[in-house]
Structure 1
Amino acid sequence: MSKSRLVTLLLIALLAIHLSNAMYFTGIFTLIIFVVVLFLGNLASRLKVLLSNKLFWILIIPFLVYTVSIIYSEDLHFAWKKLEIGLSILIFPIMIGLTNIERKDIILFLKCMILLVAFLPVIGFVNQYSSYLVFNDTGAFYNDNLVSILGKQAVYYGFFINVALLTLFALLKKGEIKSNTARIIGSVSFILLICTQYLLASRIAIALTALMIVTFAIAYMAKHLRRSQLILFSTGFVLMGVVLLFSFPKVLKRFQSIKHIEYKFDNPNPINHFNGEIKKENWNGLNTRLAIWECTLDAIKIKPLFGYGIGDGQKELQEIYKEKNFILAKSNYYNTHNQYLHFTLIGGVLGLLAYTLHLLYFVRYSIQKKHWLLFGFLLIYMTTSLTENILGRNQGVVFISLLLSILVYFSGKIKNNTFSL
């Protein structure tokens, strides 16, 4: 077995562990792979190449922001705890940067990623079926309930699905899924991904999925169909989406609940739930975030340049919640629910600038290299970051750091006959 194939199989196993409810073993298995990588060739020469690679330093910028912010954090215990979560942002760029994975193995990894993301929720569906039989409640199959056995939240798994769909479209476009068996598996994966995304009912994830499907469909039809046919099919897609939305009232409730944007911090009511009655006086996903963002901005105004540090940012946000008597947020210990505001809170304007430059560099890099899979991944990541602190949990940061490192380091190999348009 080649070194490239060995590392690839280990990374696939790591991804399977991470996507399943075995995240406690993710760190241990990552360490095992890291040790294996260290012994695959001349370490000194590989380290020299890695440290001279500009991409490596750009990849680890978020971790550097975390590290620097420890200097002025008062709660060092919490700071080191948060830094431990962010270690993936450092570990994977080092680990992947020290390896030389062949193109065929990169494609194998991407295919396995699609299959894992597509088929693992089936376990959740089977698991929730027993709950449905007991309580006769279809809510068991929706939102966080569906992926609870995998230890995931709906919004994170929705992010995984969008990345898997994007990768599936890219592989199909350039003929990496050729055999009849592969096409059947690809079709089944697509159906499972779409169905799971719909049942998860994450608004931002569904919106991105719809945008992605429409974009690829229009691009394909514009190339192969006449204008009249294009209009007909486009209208059909829109109507199908509307019918699907109104055919599943629990999913519809997720969207209906955000039409009220007004809020009062001392509102003692809970958040509207898809499995209950939608009430105007309840909190919803949108006005809750608007209130959180207002509190976050108030905290940022106090220390705008350097922020509070990774150890004290959440603590200061909690103080703002208490000052405003934001009952819901202080009782649930809500974070910023926005990755950009998070970096501003802990690192100030300088932290936000560093993180933004990190993202924009790779956007520019993907456009220059015509690496559209990387470009699409970044768009999904950056859009999801508008409503989620997606690097704040292991379930998000491990997946993002691993995929981003692979897509960036091996852009030439991936793009070759595969993803350039």
Structure 2
Amino acid sequence: MIVSERAYRYNYNLWLIVIAVALLFRVPATYLLILFTAYNLIFYKQFFFTNKHLLFSGLIASPFLLDLLFIGNNDSILEGFKHAEKRISLLVLPLLILNQNHRINAPLILRVYGVITTLILGFCLVRFAFVSPELFVKYLHGKDLWEMGYKFANSIGKHAPALNLHVAFVVVINYYFIKEGIGKLKRNLLFWRIAIFILSILILFYINTRLAITNAFIGILLITFYKENGFLKFRNYRKTFLGIGVFLILAVAFIAVFPYSLQKFTTVTFGHLDKVGKLDELENPEKTVFNGLVTRLSIWKSGIELASKNSIIGVGAADGKKELTRYFKETNQNFLHKYEFPVHNQYLDFFIKFGLLGLIVSLLYVSLFAYIGITSKQILCIYFFILFATSNFVDDFLIRFDGIVFSALWLSIFTKNAIDNQKNKLR
């Protein structure tokens, strides 16, 4: 099949945008990834392999390679291969993207992804109000606000923390392109960028995951004060404080409408911290600490103890949760055993499953975002490191489609952009 170089580049950028947006919905995203792989194989002559490309492809694929290395450590080899299959995109995506013999337009991909994702989620929020009016009205009256974000996320087939991983990233992307457009865009275009940014913040608050809201605010601060050649001059601060002001105003307004949000960030999160490892002493742990920090700390305490006993090779990728649940029972933690809580910490999850090497690989994979972002001065890549590193501290996104493909895609895009930019400088 003969396609002009210009048309191929356009189509490839379009592919990356479509896949990034489609990751909101697992089933269509899975089919698109298969089609994307087939598309690359059809145009195999566009591949250009170098040692550097292959090195970074291998580093991005390291969690998948870890699965293969420890495949025999599972009680069931078949289950071990099933867990490895979940992470195969960590191998496929970097091989396909990094080894393309052409540049990709990373800024265009990011900007369009941010706008389309915001509009889709905005539509989904309106749809939720029509499809589940009783829930929407109930939340407006301040009832059962703890479930608000989860019900909305479930309405589109997503887990709220995973959805907020996308939304926090989109909020910061939208703000980045507002800042980039100040003084360069016409007023009407800048107005629409600001409108998209505000919509993305409202969606973020509605889903209402604590860490994602915090991360989005950190990202806005980072973008506000960052400049490639140093900090902004004082006289320019007023323009770049736009995002901070809008975020804080909307936060105050949201808390006024949904006051439980403030309680969620304070007493619900930090209550009963003296009961770490002793949750059964509480009269009703389901009601008082089910979503509290003390429950996470209790899980992590048990996880560290279990991982320390199996620090050489771990307990196996397919057996991590089963062994942790068994350990809850052995240590008489009935509440944790009853609900079979996962570890909710990616670094500890890999430590339990693969031993010390698993802990090192998980830290290496996440740190790649920081390395690529800092060395190539890609501020959105640096922010993705902050977002993904902290999110994996309270959840385990490298065992979920949401986190695996999402991180592999963006890490491949940022790395490809960094390598291409370095080539241009050498020329």
**Could you say what secondary structure the match of 1:335 adopts?**
coil
Following the alignment from structure 2 to structure 1, what is the Cα–Cα distance between the partners of residues 317 and 124?
A: 34
* Equivalent residues of 2:381, 2:414 under 8 A apart: yes
In structure 2, relative to structure 1, the CA distance for the partners of 1:152 and 1:216 (3 Å cut) is same
Structure 1 match to 2:16: 11
Deviation at 1:302, TM superposition (A): 1.4
Structure 2 match to 1:275: none
Structure 2 match to 1:323: 330
* Equivalent residues of 2:224, 2:240 under 8 A apart: no
* 259-268 or 329-338, which deviates more: 259-268
Following the alignment from structure 1 to structure 2, what is the Cα–Cα distance between the partners of residues 405 and 227?
A: 33
Query: Taking every aligned residue pair, what percent have the same amino acid on both sides?
Result: 22
Unaligned stretches of 5+ residues in structure 1: 273-280
Structure 1 match to 2:172: 166
Deviation at 1:36, TM superposition (A): 0.9
| Matched letter for residue 85 of structure 1 | K
Structure 1 match to 2:110: 110
In structure 2, relative to structure 1, the CA distance for the partners of 1:303 and 1:7 (3 Å cut) is same
In structure 2, relative to structure 1, the CA distance for the partners of 1:237 and 1:116 (3 Å cut) is closer
Which among 371, 383, 396 is matched to residue 389 of structure 1? 396
Deviation at 1:203, TM superposition (A): 0.7
* Equivalent residues of 2:63, 2:90 under 8 A apart: yes
Deviation at 1:190, TM superposition (A): 0.5
Following the alignment from structure 2 to structure 1, what is the Cα–Cα distance between the partners of residues 116 and 53?
A: 35
Q: Is 1:147–2:153 an aligned residue pair?
A: yes
Which among 293, 301, 304 is matched to residue 294 of structure 1? 301
Q: CA offsets per residue over residues 222-263 of structure 1, 9 Å max, x none?
A: 6244999999x9899878755654552131232130121233
Deviation at 1:390, TM superposition (A): 1.2
Which among 188, 191, 215 is matched to residue 208 of structure 1? 215
**Could you say what secondary structure the match of 2:50 adopts?**
helix
* Equivalent residues of 1:318, 1:330 under 8 A apart: yes
Structure 2 match to 1:35: 38
In structure 2, relative to structure 1, the CA distance for the partners of 1:403 and 1:126 (3 Å cut) is same
Following the alignment from structure 1 to structure 2, what is the Cα–Cα distance between the partners of residues 4 and 228?
A: 38
Following the alignment from structure 2 to structure 1, what is the Cα–Cα distance between the partners of residues 376 and 240?
A: 30
Q: CA offsets per residue over residues 316-342 of structure 1, 9 Å max, x none?
A: 111112223434433433221111101
Which among 262, 265, 269 is matched to residue 258 of structure 1? 269
Structure 1 match to 2:3: none
Structure 1 match to 2:127: 127
In structure 2, relative to structure 1, the CA distance for the partners of 1:361 and 1:211 (3 Å cut) is closer
**Within-5 A mapping of 1:208-287:** 208-217=215-224, 223-225=233-235, 241=251, 244-255=254-265, 256-260=267-271, 261-263=273-275, 264-266=278-280, 269=284, 271-272=286-287, 281-287=288-294
Q: CA offsets per residue over residues 66-123 of structure 1, 9 Å max, x none?
A: 22121211122332222222122112111212324544x4333212210233122223
In structure 2, relative to structure 1, the CA distance for the partners of 1:292 and 1:101 (3 Å cut) is farther
Deviation at 1:137, TM superposition (A): 0.8
In structure 2, relative to structure 1, the CA distance for the partners of 1:12 and 1:313 (3 Å cut) is same
Following the alignment from structure 1 to structure 2, what is the Cα–Cα distance between the partners of residues 73 and 381?
A: 28
Q: Is 1:190–2:200 an aligned residue pair?
A: no
In structure 2, relative to structure 1, the CA distance for the partners of 1:291 and 1:37 (3 Å cut) is same
In structure 2, relative to structure 1, the CA distance for the partners of 1:122 and 1:244 (3 Å cut) is closer
Q: CA offsets per residue over residues 194-219 of structure 1, 9 Å max, x none?
A: 11111111111111122222344456
Following the alignment from structure 1 to structure 2, what is the Cα–Cα distance between the partners of residues 371 and 316?
A: 40
* 237-246 or 48-57, which deviates more: 237-246
Unaligned stretches of 5+ residues in structure 2: 1-5
Deviation at 1:306, TM superposition (A): 1.6
Deviation at 1:369, TM superposition (A): 2.2
**Within-5 A mapping of 1:71-90:** 71-90=72-91
Deviation at 1:293, TM superposition (A): 0.5
Structure 2 match to 1:65: 66
* 383-392 or 52-61, which deviates more: 52-61
Q: CA offsets per residue over residues 15-68 of structure 1, 9 Å max, x none?
A: 333213xx123222211111111221427x63x437863211211112112221
**Could you say what secondary structure the match of 1:334 adopts?**
coil
* 129-138 or 351-360, which deviates more: 129-138
In structure 2, relative to structure 1, the CA distance for the partners of 1:359 and 1:128 (3 Å cut) is closer
In structure 2, relative to structure 1, the CA distance for the partners of 1:234 and 1:371 (3 Å cut) is closer
| Matched letter for residue 172 of structure 2 | L
Following the alignment from structure 2 to structure 1, what is the Cα–Cα distance between the partners of residues 69 and 19?
A: 29
TM-score (norm 2): 0.83
Matched residues, number: 403
| Matched letter for residue 262 of structure 1 | D
TM-score (norm 1): 0.84
